[in-house]
Structure 1
Amino acid sequence: MFTQEESTPVTNIKIKKILISQSRPDSDKSPYFDLERKHNLELVFFPFIKLEGITAKEFRQQKIDLSKFSSVIFTSRNAIDHFFRMCEEVKRNIDQETKYFCITEAVGLYLQKFILYRKRKVFFGADGTNKSLFDVINKHKENEQFLYVCSENQQDNDIVSWLKNHKCDFKLAFMYRSVSNNIKPVLEENKFDVICFFTPSGIKSLLDSLPDYKQNGTAIGAFGENTTKAVVEAGLNVAIKAPIPQAPSMVSALDKYLSEQTKKNA
């Protein structure tokens, strides 16, 4: 299935099977299943990475007092889960006036699981890009102490660089790490027309399992600027990008792409 041929972008093919590099949604009401029915195709869910929480002992070695920060930056729901897990494990209460800056509205709304959600304390970018997040942070950065919660091996260097260049008072807080899953069996046993990635770690997992992987016409979807960058750096082509104004989620980006393919094949 995998050859040494040059990677080429996918064009005008009938999409039959899509690999989503995440766990299968818990709810049957997920929009992914609406997409599956609408376009009469098969979705396969398989997480390319697994996350391991950093222990409280490991976190204490970073010498971070969680109660000292007035603002927290989140770029994923996983970061939120591990932040509040760590707060509980090290027995630190978070001030009710803490501000939260999130990469998307969906990430921001996820905070409702842990806090009393108040719009004046939760901020998010307009379109899911780093730039829109920076625009929001820039309006509030005076006199704020930011805690950027991220993976030990996958922090966003663009965010770090922006915070440094704009003289923000900030600290990185590593609370989890990503570990590659063995995805070789699922890729060797199936022919996927589309593979969707959500993090740079997903790309790393692909190359860890299949160092000589070639695209060979498979369309690749990438969620987020950093994931797109990782795909390109791996020598692969991106056919589906999200979030963008016309497609704020991977589901909507896939729907848009599949509809365009249907029109081309009509």
Structure 2
Amino acid sequence: MPKFSRPGMDKKGQQTSTKGIQNILITQPKPDSEKSPYFDLARKYNVNLVFQPFIRIEGIPSKEFRKQKIDIPSYSAVIFTSRNAIDHFFRTCEEMRITISQDTKYFCITEAVALYLQKFILYRKRKVFYGADGTNKSLFDVINKHKSNERFLYPCSENLDNEITGWLRNHNCEFATPILYRTVSNDIKDLVTNGNYDIICFFTPSGVKSLLENLPKYKQNGTFIGAFGANTFKAVEDAGLKLQIKAPEPQSPSMVSALDRFLAAHTK
């Protein structure tokens, strides 16, 4: 199916068009609020956004977690690289009736992840830190300033980030990696094959893995690929795909802003 330009409207109400870009696949659930900036983006460029998670998260029951023999209260700091990790960390603590000390420190990959902690803790009364640009390096820089006498928990899925554990090990940090949830690939074969998407945006390495599990012979064939986070960048590139849209970056702190910049560059 050929790709055509579609008319949109600029800020002055003048017609614009995005060259060949009509359909954008966001590999996340559809936002609950109609006030989501994604919908503003769709109206601004008159593009069609389709939201479909490529993966689903399954929590590991507390009974199964106990087999890991990790004593959560004995650790003084927690590293979070996703909202899923936060959800399942506090779920596990609640199921096991574990009380987290008010002195616990939290180290988060981005400010957005850090702010999500507000669902579970009194944010201002806790010690919360986050990386400057969403990269592991910026996270390490923050941890390095506070790592003395800390014992770290890195809650994760079975697909843990070896770069993080390697850094902790190389810097002689005492740490544990509780596996609290697992990622399962959704069936997205028909969605991708028949959708004629001009852009596909990924947010986790597991999303990229799901694409390849569903379509081992997938060819990009001119589709633009977006990715959020350094680990997802790497997963896209390791899959042999060309990455054109990246967030967070200094001028694109979110996927919405990265898409906005990209679509603006393709608007005539």
1:192 & 1:136 partners in 2: Cα distance? 38
1:40 & 1:148 partners in 2: Cα distance? 41
TM-score by length of 1: 0.92
1:50 aligns with 2:59: no
Deviation at 1:135, TM superposition (A): 0.6
Aligned partner of 1:110 in structure 2 is 116
CA contact (8 A) 2:23 2:197 kept: yes
Deviates most, 213-222 or 160-169: 160-169
Q: State the SS of the aligned residue for 1:109.
A: helix
Task: State the one-letter code of the partner of 2:265.
Answer: E
Question: Given the alignment, which residue of 133, 136, 154 partners 1:130?
Answer: 136
Task: State the one-letter code of the partner of 1:197.
Answer: F
Cα shift readout 1:16-65 (whole Å, capped 9, x = no counterpart): 11000011011111111111111110100000000000011111011011
TM-score by length of 2: 0.92
Deviation at 1:189, TM superposition (A): 2.3
CA contact (8 A) 2:79 2:107 kept: yes
Cα shift readout 1:70-102 (whole Å, capped 9, x = no counterpart): 100000111000000000111110001111000
1:190 aligns with 2:178: no
Identical counterparts, % of pairs? 68
1:23 aligns with 2:29: yes
Give the 4+ runs in structure 1 shifted more than 3 A. Answer: none
Alpha-carbon RMSD across the aligned residues, in angstroms, is 1.2
Q: State the SS of the aligned residue for 2:195.
A: coil
Which residues of structure 2 form unaligned runs of 5+? 2-17
Question: Given the alignment, which residue of 214, 220, 230 partners 1:209?
Answer: 214
Task: State the one-letter code of the partner of 2:180.
Answer: M
2:35 & 2:76 partners in 1: Cα distance? 37
Deviation at 1:238, TM superposition (A): 0.2
Aligned partner of 2:42 in structure 1 is 36
> How many residues end up aligned between the 2 structures?
252
Aligned partner of 1:60 in structure 2 is 66
Task: State the one-letter code of the partner of 1:174.
Answer: I
2:242 & 2:195 partners in 1: Cα distance? 20
CA contact (8 A) 2:58 2:182 kept: yes
Question: Given the alignment, which residue of 87, 91, 101 partners 1:95?
Answer: 101
Aligned partner of 2:164 in structure 1 is 159
CA 44–95 in structure 1, closer or farther in 2 if over 3 Å, else same: same
